[in-house]
Amino acid sequence: MLKQISIYAENKKGCFQHITGLLNENGINILGSVTNDSAEYGIIRMVVSDPDKCLEVLRNDGFICKTTLVLAIECPDEVGALDKILKTLYKGNINVNYIYLSFNRESGLPIMVMHTDDAAQVENILMNHGYNCLAD
């Protein structure tokens, strides 16, 4: 499992760049990210190279953030790979709250970053079906 940072950010020009600038200045690499917006605020979710430092840097700048455990499942770069993962979870009666894509810089394979209600249970199911789940 990986620590994901969720950042509550005002939906205004330059806010996302301000966040990426802070991470850049502090040597924190963004490994995967997804944003969800609303009229006034949005949630930026990211997996980063140093989640604890990221949390500290952003909170010190006034951002409201939290960490959440997510799964990082390595999968083949082929048609139907995500479908196979989701079918496995469906058979295990698992709901997936959200997914976004990253990639394993060592293997070059895609990584599905996934949030579920019980990450440990899902990790067990996937590993028992031969999937590689990455950890911090």
Structural domains of the chain, count: 2
Rounded to two decimals, the pTM is 0.85
CATH number, domain with residue 33: 3.30.2130.10
Among the listed ranges 15-24, 33-42, 122-131, which one has the minimum average pLDDT value?
33-42
Last residue of a domain, one of 37, 68, 99: 68
pLDDT tens figures, 105-116: 888 889 999 999
The residue segments making up the domain with residue 77 are 70-133
Per-residue pLDDT averaged across 33-56, rounded? 90
Q: In terms of pLDDT, which residue wins out, 70 or 41?
A: 70
| The pLDDT of residue 38 is above 80 | no
Strand 30-37 relative to strand 110-116: parallel, antiparallel, unpaired? unpaired
Strand 64-74 relative to strand 30-37: parallel, antiparallel, unpaired? unpaired
